[in-house]
Structure 1
Amino acid sequence: MASHGKSPGHTLYSQATQRLGAFRRPVPLAILTLILVLAAVVGLWRYVNEASLQTAQARIDRRALRITSDALRELNVMENVLRGASGLLETDLSITQKEWRGYVSHLHLADTLPMVRALGFATANGRFAPISMMTPTGSGIPAVGFDLLGDTARHASLDRAAGTATAALHAIPGDNRVDFELYLPFYKSIEAEGRANVAGFVIAVADVERLFDTVTRREPRVELEVFSGTPATLLYSSNTFGAAAGPTPLVRKTMTLNFGGEPLTLTYSATAEMLGPNDDNASTAVLVGGTASALLLGAIVFLLARDRTGMSGATARASTQSTLNEARMMGIIRSSMEAIITIDENQRIVIFNPTAEQVFDCSAMDAIGASLSRFIPERFRADHARHVRQFGVTGVSDRQMGKLRVLFGLRANGEEFPIEASISQIDDGTGKLYTVMLRDVTERVKADNALRRSRAELRDLSENLQNVREEEKTRIARELHDDLGQQLTALKMDLSSVEQLIQADSSAGGEIIRQLRGMRSLVDKTVASLRRIAADQRPVMLDDLGLIPAIEWLANDFTSRYGINVERHIEPAAIEFNRMAATTVFRIVQEALTNVARHAEASRVTLTIRSDGGHCILRISDDGHGAAKLDAPQRRSFGLLGMRERARILGGSISIDTEPGQGFAVTVTFPVKALQQEETHP
């Protein structure tokens, strides 16, 4: 083809050369070159800076998560101390000041929890809760006799603790410090939990500054500020930067720590330099080196253009200009990282650059003059020809690079591979030329497929973890109920025998008998707690009697604990649940009732199980204060996520209906076939 006159590709280059005639003078051409290269350098410099900023943001995200987790762990440890004290007070509320001091001394709080300033308790009597014990006493610590319910802010926190049976957190700002007060209710007896049976509250006073100094010690280069309430009140600032901070820190991270019903906002900030190695040197090198290269290239272009303009004769100047421009265009095409193919109106190849040679495993000598269909799989050739004809008429194409529409090419060895493509056209006077830019996206497609497989495997892993967790709960519950429960019962019988022997001996003291009776009472309470813990793990009746009796027991236990009535509408014998389906439905109901107890402040719950055609519908609703915008990140509930995942395993779906002040309702829909089909075991 090259031996018969000028090719269409040569004509294209000649026309491009004529359009660049305005830049034949040395100064404009050198300035244009300098501007283009500097624009590329600035773009690369911005990319390096953005990458450095993203790296710094990832570092502060990890450190913020670690500090927040450490703070939550310290608060949980303090809650465990309160639970131990509440167990002591439920057994014997007649403890003296001396005994209480001895108990606090044995906890060694100065070594284990140095942020705890004092530990005490208050007895609740109707509308009053005066402090009975407090050790030690000091500035900012509520004194014995102080009525906690007389303070409106404390009253709300105490009411929250009594309603949820968990620790409630309350921030107390002072002149020189901010203290946290934690309240945990204890009850008249272990079996009589609930708001109406609160006997008092265990109180811990913690120094906020010591608490967060302890958890930030590992990350001294990150500044932490802790806020609470609306409007936000500053509780703590690590003041890491001080006067040397200079400008506003480059990266920030805000997290919410939910504990005791008092959400705390933790704001972390740091400069990129303080977080670790950065890319400032790299960005500076890019900027300096790129600027120098731009100046050098501009000077070279200026000299070449000046030499060119110095040539005598219009014919020589035009010839040199045409040759130079053609060489430049060929250099651009040959150096492109994209495969570039130009075809004529008959779809014959006229340009085939080196990248195209690599992509299609075919030399330009073999490709030029051949039909483009040689590199298109046969099943796509008709569609491609029709697309090119339509593009030639309308100039509109749906093939644009980066639009994620994947096409397919054909290598010389017959191998198909995925590509992205964009097309453009030009009319050189003798006909239209179409230029296609191609990109091999084989690796990206493989990565996408691997990502989809990974997601499927993660879902399978999640389902397996749920099953393993249920099996472990079943084993623990049976061991608690059958083994440890029988041993405690035998211990109780031994205590009774010893008591009878002592009663028979008139010389034995009555004090020993009183202590034995107290030990037997404690064994009774321990057995009751053991059975409750075993039932919480997995009720035996769920395996022995089935789902409906287990849900009835769960509702009755919920009403007994929290004083909230559960109205049930369960269709009898509507569906026969297999073991996996029964476990899933039971856990969803259990999680929903737990959410009601913790967050809803409701007085009534309605539980409905019914069948509708080929579906089973489970609905749990309450008359509490409701919620708004559950999809916001700060309101994300892992309990609801767990319910969704359990429902998904059985092909079900969850919908939530709630508004502030209008209650909260969760509706779960399962296909009946998934609930009844026989389970398969590997």
Structure 2
Amino acid sequence: MPAAGNSSSPHAPPGSHRRPGESLRAPVLAATATALIVFIAAAVSALIVHDHLLRVAQENFDARAAHVDSDIRRELLLCTQLLRGASGLVVSQSQNAGDATPTPDAWDRYVSRLDLDDSPPCVRSLGYATAGAPAGASGAAPGGAPAHTVLMWPPRGDTSDGGELGVSDATRAALMRAANSSEVAMAIRELPRESGGTAQRGEGQPRARVDLYLPVYRTAPPPTLVPARRAALIGFAFGRLDTEYLFASISAHEPRMTLRVSGGQPAMMLYPPGAPLEEQYDGPERFKRIDTLHFGGEALTIAYATSDPTLAASADFSSSAIVAAGFAAAVIAAAAVFIFVRKRGTTLAEAGMARARSSQDEARLMAIIRSSSEAIVTTDEQQRIVMFNPAAEQVLRCSAMDAIGTSIDRFIPERFRAEHRRHVERFGETGVTERKMGRQQPVLVGLRADGEEFPIEASISQIHDGRGKLYTVMLRDVTERVRSEDALKASRQELRALSANLQSVREDEKTRIARELHDDLGQQLTALKMDLSSVEQSLGELPSAPAPVLAQLITMRRLIDSTVGSVRRIAADLRPVMLDDLGLLPAIDWLLTDFRTRYGIEIERRIEPGQAQFSRNGATTLFRIVQEALTNVARHAEATRVSIAFVVEDDQCLLRIEDNGCGAPGGRDKEGNGEKSFGLLGIRERVHILGGSVSIDTAAKQGFKLTVRVPLAAIQQEEALP
């Protein structure tokens, strides 16, 4: 056959004499346009994926920075505890000797035992000053005159760094905050340039010093009113922080993260020492974050930055891979369009030859049908089989010779045959080309020739030919998938049973630990307190009893009282004893009262259980649900009011907890920071074990309402709690 477009062919039809460039122009343009469209789509997709992965990397970086914030706050609290210990010495000296100021020797012995230079927290200088000390009264070395208003360790006589209290506005403001609030106060002030030493970077930049001040009162706890506090004030315990060591030791845990800290009014760079403040937010780092940490009345600005390549490696690699794949797809699509357009522009002679080859295409189509892995069955309007491919022979276990000419009903279970005929008739009336079968049920049932039923998925299509309608059904044996789904359901039930067992074991362990804390450790502490009181009484009767020892015994007794309170609080948090001794309702009442006292959130309660008696498991479940819901309110809701309803309606127990807080956007179940709510998940699991239901009604700025319904029979058993 002569080639199309060959001008020397005597059989070429009119219009086939073209120049080579004209025959390729349209395919080339179409291929180029297709390649551009595909490549642009790939590039846009790469940008979207890259931006998404960068946001994920930024969230990871923010989480790491949040951990560093927590470490800094923890170290500052450790420094505060050190000041509280020093204040105990001052109070003891005041009560014993009637003098608010310890002797220099006593102060030196106490502070030297702390070994400030070799162990954290980062307080390298520890001092004490009486209230209202005049300027210039500090810096006395140990062993000097007995009248000291400022004691400092290590002993130093120089005041070039502003060691006297009250000489700067920052120090005065910090002392006033500490005296009025009875809490630790922080002061950040600039050191004179000549005392800053030679900085490694930023020569000539101002250096800052950070001090912590803790007020010391004659009585503990301090008075509630501010004027009374000032009257009871006897002095201040203060410490100078080694900010370079503090932030360097914390920054060492994140070696690939740059940490810069500033604070004070005006702002001064605290870390790195001597660095210019203008460099705090500059730099080529890819990920940045700025946090503000409030402590002791001061705000510390913490800037984090990093160029860690591992954070953005996934984004860069994914975008590059998408661009490369898009380029390859563009080339393939351009080639396909080029071939398609070129073939579409064939000559009339080639079109005639294509019609002559239609029978060959039909044969190829039949070959494709025969080689298809899907079972394909075609029937006429009377539901007689007219085509039966080899895959159908394997699935239905019947040869095509035996199947063709018979009714399709032989492969449908008898109970479904009438419905199948009605379905096919309705489908033929709609005129829809194709549709999936069995929309009301995900899996249909087929019948093999040997009588075995098996699950299938099927779709049906219809066409018209010269002799009427033909219906083609494509079906797939999904026996293995159904088995896998059944196995998955069984595994899910096993996991739920395991979760229920773990909840039970956890409650038993909490009960055991709470009992041991309350009974064993609590009794031992009580006995220790009684022995200490006996020793204190015996020493008090001696005429030469040392006053410092008696004061130390008083401090020890107070510490034991505080420890007993902590043990009781921890035991109650694990499992309130009254839940087992008094029952569910007193335990819930105690929980609500403790919540209102601890967080200052008003509670409206409606607890009307009627005559219901709750089993041990049911009482534990309901108590834990209320506890977890109140915990979520305290952590995330920012609410000022909470209402709780606990009533019995018919054969259902209804528990509803509602707050007026910020709610969750979109009505989603959230537990803060966009994280998955494991607390709510635990509530659902507990309720599911009892056969109940959980519903949540929430929206942004609309509060959060949790409703739990549990069958009364599941929580009210014969062996009920008293």
Taking structure 2 as the reference length, the TM-score comes to 0.61
The answer to whether the aligner puts 1:509 opposite 2:546 as a matched pair is yes
Q: Distance in 2 between matches of 1:662 and 1:520?
A: 49
Deviates further, 567-576 or 525-534: 567-576
How far, CA to CA, are the matches of 1:663 and 1:201 in structure 2?
Answer: 45
RMSD: 6.2
Look up the match of 1:383: 419
1:338-487 equivalent positions in 2, closer than 5 A: 338-396=374-432, 399-400=435-436, 405-487=442-524
Q: Which residue of 2 aligns with 1:329?
A: 365
Determine the C-alpha separation between the residues in 1 that align with 2:337 and 2:376: 27
Q: 1:626 to 1:283 in 2, by over 3 A?
A: closer
Task: Provide the rounded CA distance (Å) in 2 between the counterparts of 1:38 and 1:414.
Answer: 58
TM-superposed deviation, 1:80:
4.3
Q: Which residue of 2 aligns with 1:558?
A: 595
Shift of the 215–142 alpha-carbon distance from structure 1 to 2, 3 Å rule, reads: farther
Q: Secondary structure at the match of 1:535?
A: helix
Q: CA deviation at 1:542?
A: 1.0
Distance in 1 of aligned mates of 2:73 and 2:587? 31
Name the stretch that deviates more: 376-385 or 61-70. 61-70
- Report if aligned partners of 2:62, 2:289 keep a CA contact under 8 Å in 1: no
> SS where residue 579 of structure 2 aligns?
helix
2:691 to 632, 648, 651: 651
Q: Secondary structure at the match of 2:497?
A: helix
Task: Summarize the Cα distance change of 1:498–1:568 in structure 2 as closer, same or farther, 3 Å threshold.
Answer: same
Deviations 1:228-269 (A, max 9, x none): 79xxxx97564639xxx9xxxxx9xxxxxxxxxxxxxxxx76
Deviations 1:439-469 (A, max 9, x none): 3334443444444444433333333332222
Task: Tell me if structure 1 keeps the 8 A contact 2:377–2:474.
Answer: yes
1:588 maps to: 625
Classify the secondary structure of the residue corresponding to 2:406: coil
1:143 is displaced (CA, Å) by 4.8
After superposition, residues 512-527 of structure 1 pair within 5 angstroms as 512-527=549-564
Q: Is the 8 A contact 2:71 2:250 kept in 1?
A: no
Match of 1:530 among 554, 560, 567: 567
Distance in 1, matches of 2:35 and 2:449, equals 38
Query: Does the 8 A contact of 2:87 with 2:216 survive in 1?
Result: no
Offset from partner CA, 1:193-212 (integer Å, 9 cap, x none)? 9x999x99999999999899
- Aligned 1:239-258 pairs, distance under 5 A: 240=307
AA aligned opposite 1:610: V
Map of 1:125 onto structure 2:
none
Which is further off, 441-450 or 416-425?
441-450
CA separation in 2, counterparts of 1:516 and 1:526?
A: 15
- Write the mapping of 1:190-209 to structure 2, written as runs, cut at 5 A: none
Distance in 2 (alpha carbons) for counterparts of 1:482 and 1:333: 80
Are the structure 2 counterparts of residues 597 and 196 from structure 1 closer, same or farther at C-alpha, using a change threshold of 3 Å? farther
Which whole-Å CA distance do the structure 2 matches of 1:117 and 1:362 have between them? 91
Could you tell me which residue of structure 1 aligns to residue 281 of structure 2? Answer: none
1:103, 1:507 → 2: CA distance? Answer: 32
C-alpha distance 349-79 of structure 1, shift in aligned 2 (>3 A): same
Q: Shift in Å at residue 538 of structure 1? A: 0.6
| Cα distance change on mapping 1:282 and 1:598 into 2, 3 Å | closer
State the distance in 2 between where 1:372 and 1:364 align: 12
CA offset digits 1:352-379 (Å, max 9, x no partner): 2333334334443443333322332332
Which region of structure 1 is more displaced relative to structure 2, 89-98 or 489-498?
A: 89-98
Amino acid in structure 2 at the alignment position of 1:533: I
Q: Secondary structure at the match of 2:474?
A: strand
With over 3 angstroms needed to count, the CA separation of the structure-2 counterparts of 1:503 and 1:94, relative to structure 1, is closer
Are 1:117 and 1:206, in contact at CA under 8 Å, matched by a contact in 2?
no
3-state SS in 2 of match to 1:346: coil
The range that moved more, 346-355 or 208-217, is: 208-217
DSSP-derived class of the 2:454 partner: strand
Shift of 1:471: 1.4
Deviations 1:317-344 (A, max 9, x none): 6995343232232234334443322222
State the Cα distance separating 1:87 from its structure 2 match: 5.5
- CA–CA distance in 2 between the matches of 1:590 and 1:310? 81
Assess, with a 3 A threshold, how the Cα gap between structure 1 residues 658 and 422 changes in structure 2: closer, same or farther: closer
* Distance in 1 between residues matched to 2:574 and 2:388, nearest whole Å: 70
Q: Counterpart of 1:399 in 2: which secondary structure?
A: strand
1:49-68 equivalences under 5 Å are none
Alignment pair present for 1:494 and 2:534: no
Residue 289 of structure 2: aligned partner: 226
Aligned position for 2:96: none
Does the aligned pair in 1 maintain the 2:43–2:322 contact within 8 Å? yes
Structure 1 contact 399–421 (Cα < 8 Å) conserved? no
**Counterpart-to-counterpart distance in 2, 1:397 and 1:679:** 64
Q: Secondary structure at the match of 2:667?
A: coil
Q: Percent identity?
A: 46
Contact 2:36 2:330 in 1 (8 A): yes
Greater shift after overlay, 76-85 or 38-47? 38-47
Shift of 1:618: 3.3
What SS class does the counterpart of residue 377 from structure 2 fall into?
Answer: strand
Q: Matches of 1:117 and 1:397 in 2, distance apart?
A: 85
> Paired residue for 1:674?
714
CA separation in 1, counterparts of 2:323 and 2:407? 51
SS in 1 for 2:435: coil
Distance 2:34 2:372 in 1: 15
What letter corresponds to residue 224 of structure 1 in structure 2? F
Equivalence map 1:157-168=2 (5 Å): none
Q: Cα 1:397–1:240, aligned 2, differ >3 Å: closer, same or farther?
A: same
2:655 is the counterpart of 1:618: yes
Structure 1 residues 454 and 520 mapped into 2: Cα distance closer, same or farther (>3 Å)?
Answer: same
Mark the runs of 5 or more structure 2 residues left unpaired by the alignment. 1-19, 91-106, 129-149, 155-160, 163-167, 185-201, 230-235, 259-284, 293-300
Give unpaired runs (5+ residues) of structure 1.
1-26, 111-115, 122-131, 168-174, 246-250, 252-267
CA distance in structure 2 between the aligned counterparts of 1:587 and 1:187, rounded to whole angstroms: 41
Deviation at 1:612, TM superposition (A): 2.6
Q: Does the 8 Å CA contact 2:409/2:417 hold for their aligned counterparts? A: yes
CA distance in 2, matches of 1:667, 1:188: 49
Q: CA deviation at 1:85?
A: 5.2
With 573-582 and 495-504 compared, the bigger mean Cα shift is at 495-504
User: What is the letter of the counterpart of residue 331 of structure 1?
Assistant: A
AA of the residue aligned to 1:672: L
Which residue is 2:580 aligned to? 543
Shift of 1:472: 1.6
1:482-511 CA-to-partner distances (Å, cap 9, x unmatched) read: 222222223323333433454455455221
Residue 108 of structure 1 is matched in structure 2 by: 120
Q: Is the 8 A contact 1:425 1:432 kept in 2?
A: yes
CA distance in 2 between counterparts of 1:514 and 1:388 reads 97
Give the aligned residue type for 1:541. M
Residue 296 of structure 1: CA displacement? Answer: 8.3
Tell whether the 8 Å contact from 1:421 to 1:437 is kept in structure 2 after alignment.
Answer: yes
